[in-house]
Amino acid sequence: MSSMTSVKTWRLELYICDVFASIVVATIILISEISLAVFEYIHCRLDGNPLSAVFAGIFTVHSVFTTFYIIGAFRLIECFMVPWLTLQLIFLTTFALFVIVWWIATLLSIFNLVQYYHTTSDQGLTNAEFFVLTGVILTIVLVVSIKLSHILYRGFVTVRNQNLARYRITEAIQRKDSVLKPSYV
């Protein structure tokens, strides 16, 4: 019997850990998105760059979805969590495609078929060094984004499993207490 309670305790700890980790990660992402939205908005107001306004809007909309994810994780409402996961899947797919295209451009830059624009006073990186360094940074950001998304997906799966278990228990109790009993002829 003690092994059964230890399994239940372990599952409860795993549940709390998964949901708590997903809430912490989502909160960090939310803070980052709000910071980036404010930065892009200020950049748009100072420079008048319309692209900054577009990015400010994208970060703001994404922060709303992240807020819904956090509320869903706290309240165990999985339907609040699904839109953010869908948005993150679209983002990661697009970002992975961009990284692949970047590495193709890096291969082309080795043969000087692709150039990046820099001023004549800029005596920094060579063409190939710039593309390789940026490719490595983009790949690291992609891997970190995938890991964080996996943590958030595990939190969603934990909430969904918790809701399914609660539904099964409720349904079993209702079936047991039901007034409708099968009749025998």
Parse the chain into domains and list their residue ranges: 1-180
Residue 114 scores a pLDDT above 70: yes
CA–chain centroid gap for 84, Å, is 7
Please report the pLDDT score of residue 171 as a whole number: 72
State pTM to two decimals: 0.75
Average of pLDDT values for 147-173? 85
> Is it the case that residue 8 has pLDDT exceeding 60?
no
pLDDT tens across 98-109, in order?
999 999 999 998
The mean-pLDDT minimum among 63-67, 97-101, 163-167 falls in 163-167
Quick one: average pLDDT of 111-136?
A: 80
Q: Quick one: pLDDT at residue 122?
A: 65
H-type helices in 76-125, by residue range?
Answer: 78-110
pLDDT at res. 165? 81
Contacts of 159 (CB under 8 A, 6+ apart): 19, 72, 73, 76, 77, 78, 81
Q: Which residue has the higher pLDDT, 165 or 94?
A: 94
Cα-based angle 107, 104, 108 (whole degrees, multiple of 5): 35
Q: Residue 170 pLDDT more than 70?
A: yes
What pLDDT, on the 0 to 100 scale, is given for residue 135? Answer: 95
**Residue 173, pLDDT above cutoff 80:** no
Phi, psi for 180 (deg, rounded to 5): -75, 110
